[in-house]
Structure 1
Amino acid sequence: MTVASDAPILFFDSGVGGLSILAPARAALPTAPIVYAADSAGFPYGTKSEAEIAARVPALLGRLVERYRPRLAVIACNTASTIALQHVRAALDIPVVGTVPAIKPAALLSKNRVFGVLGTDATVRQPYVDRLAAEHGADCIVLRHGSAALVQLAEAKLRGEALDPHVARDALAGLLNQPGGDRMDMVVLACTHFPLVEPELAAAAPHPIGYVHGGDGIARRIQYLTQGQPWPDAPSPGIAVFTRLDEKVEALRPALARYGLDRIDAL
């Protein structure tokens, strides 16, 4: 299949969390045209049912692919990936990259053999997480906690709002207060929003904890799937697409520009 040099990479998330996936991809492919789509009308995904997400995500991505004709789509959202990735791949005729919790690297890095999986409620209860933990962390204590408040904290941070330090502290406490939590030395940031507030999590931790997420691995996967394809000679302004435009989206404009997203569209 011939790919035009101006065909973009499409990133999709419920909100701005996928920017933590976009950043390493952009560093790896600096002239790649970018469309970043946020389902602001459906945000947040972590408190929705599996059936809602499985129906909503493929439909939205179908509309986005029809409009922007990307060469590849990245579901830059752990919740959407663990629930809807197979549905999306069945619906689209382009490569689709999902975001899965970085349990394998956490298991490799944990010296105490205790690590946490911090995500949304919807992600941490998925059988997919059970399988990853059994496959890669069978000799570890794997703690899990879902925090909807931490997702909101990341969105607020990118809007430039004052942040409540208790949110990060409470999210970590949800892991640390479980049996074995005092020995936890690694945390999987199993929501793409959470790397955006890693400094806040680190400041709230009672002892040094390492954090891992999937951004660099996804960047390598994008490079692999697009090898040999043409790219523009110079970067172009990126497009941010929202399913609902409101004052919260307008407040994100400076942060979006820092990620190279200078134009805002409505879907």
Structure 2
Amino acid sequence: MIMSLPLTASQNPDPAAPILIFDSGVGGLSVLKEVTRALPLAPIVYAADHAGLPYGEKSEAEIAARVPALLGRLVERYNPRLVTIACNTACTIALSHVRAALNLPVVGTVPAIKPAAIATKSGVIGLLGTQATIRQAYVDQLEREFAANLTLLRYAAPELVHAAEAKMRGDAISDDVYVSAINGLRNQPNGSQMDVVILGCTHFPLLIDELAKVAGNVSFVDGAKGIARRISHLCDGQSWPENRPLYQFVTTGDPEMCASYLPQLIEFGFRQIDGL
């Protein structure tokens, strides 16, 4: 599920103005993949807040203060046409603060409870997310609105965030991490009937092959395609550069410490890692 503000008719951004994709780490690459499929000519600035990772273990007050301030700096530096907060935790806590602070369209993501509710045959769906995400009142609201007659199982799997980051660095990860996450849902009452799992963190789709291997007959849903469709709609009629779009990857961490990500980032179109 996505949340956004509409573009106004008066907005006519510079063709070189990028789409800014923001996440606590590399999880937003799962969103970037769908955005670049929908808008292959769009310049991209991807910003990873590695200095603040992991968000799921921070307090609501910390995230509500950190994310708008950081995005304010990024908007000032890169002058994007649109901001995408590709982080479920940041969106469920700080989206309204960001929109109040920025004078441009903001697209966010929240757990895909609605499509999961449509897809389930058994009536039992699971939600994997960070600790901060699964406890939010907004998730309660989504459950009441779209899954009131269903069983929604929730499980915090912060180890999957670390696993996704490790995978992007080329590190080996034990299958026990994925087994533990799936069993965290299955071991709850009615968990054996679960047939759909919501990947409620943008890091998690980067691990979908590993999760599917241990999950058996379960389907997975996330919001990346819906976000890409919404961004494409908001950018409809806008101009893009004539040449190959520029992709920039920036981190709040030490770029040299993040160098191990580069071989994987090259597959997404990035050529270097810059500091913020």
For structure 2, the residue ranges without an aligned partner over 5 or more in a row are 1-10
Counterpart selection for 2:139 from 94, 104, 129:
129
The CA distance in 2 between the partners of 1:234 and 1:170, in whole Å, is 46
The CA distance in 2 between the partners of 1:45 and 1:109, in whole Å, is 29
Q: Hey, what does 1:254 align to over in structure 2? A: 263
CA offset digits 1:231-266 (Å, max 9, x no partner): 112332310010011554100011111111223221
Kept in 2, the 8 Å contact 1:39–1:243? The answer is: yes
The CA distance in 2 between the partners of 1:262 and 1:113, in whole Å, is 45
Question: 1:122: how far off?
Answer: 0.4
The CA distance in 2 between the partners of 1:69 and 1:246, in whole Å, is 22
Counterpart selection for 1:104 from 97, 109, 114:
114
Q: 1:50 to 1:138 in 2, by over 3 A?
A: same
The CA distance in 2 between the partners of 1:112 and 1:248, in whole Å, is 46
Kept in 2, the 8 Å contact 1:159–1:248? The answer is: no
Q: Hey, what does 2:219 align to over in structure 1? A: 210
Q: Hey, what does 2:50 align to over in structure 1? A: 40
1:188 aligns with 2:187: no
Aligned length: 266
SS at 1:262's partner residue?
coil
Q: Hey, what does 1:120 align to over in structure 2? A: 130
The CA distance in 1 between the partners of 2:244 and 2:42, in whole Å, is 7
Counterpart selection for 1:237 from 239, 243, 246:
246
Question: 1:6: how far off?
Answer: 0.5
Moved more, 233-242 or 149-158: 233-242
For structure 1, the residue ranges without an aligned partner over 5 or more in a row are none
Q: Hey, what does 1:201 align to over in structure 2? A: 211
Moved more, 239-248 or 167-176: 239-248
CA offset digits 1:33-63 (Å, max 9, x no partner): 0000000100000000000000000000000
The CA distance in 2 between the partners of 1:211 and 1:248, in whole Å, is 32
Letter in 2 for 1:262: R
Question: 1:169: how far off?
Answer: 0.5
| TM-score, normalised with respect to structure 1 | 0.98
- Percent sequence identity over aligned pairs: 58
Moved more, 54-63 or 256-265: 256-265
Q: Hey, what does 2:6 align to over in structure 1? A: none
Kept in 1, the 8 Å contact 2:255–2:275? The answer is: no
Counterpart selection for 2:93 from 83, 86, 97:
83
The CA distance in 2 between the partners of 1:56 and 1:42, in whole Å, is 9
The CA distance in 2 between the partners of 1:217 and 1:234, in whole Å, is 27
Letter in 1 for 2:151: I
1:29 aligns with 2:15: no
Kept in 2, the 8 Å contact 1:237–1:263? The answer is: no
Q: Hey, what does 1:265 align to over in structure 2? A: 274
Letter in 2 for 1:56: R
Q: Hey, what does 2:8 align to over in structure 1? A: none
SS at 2:263's partner residue?
helix
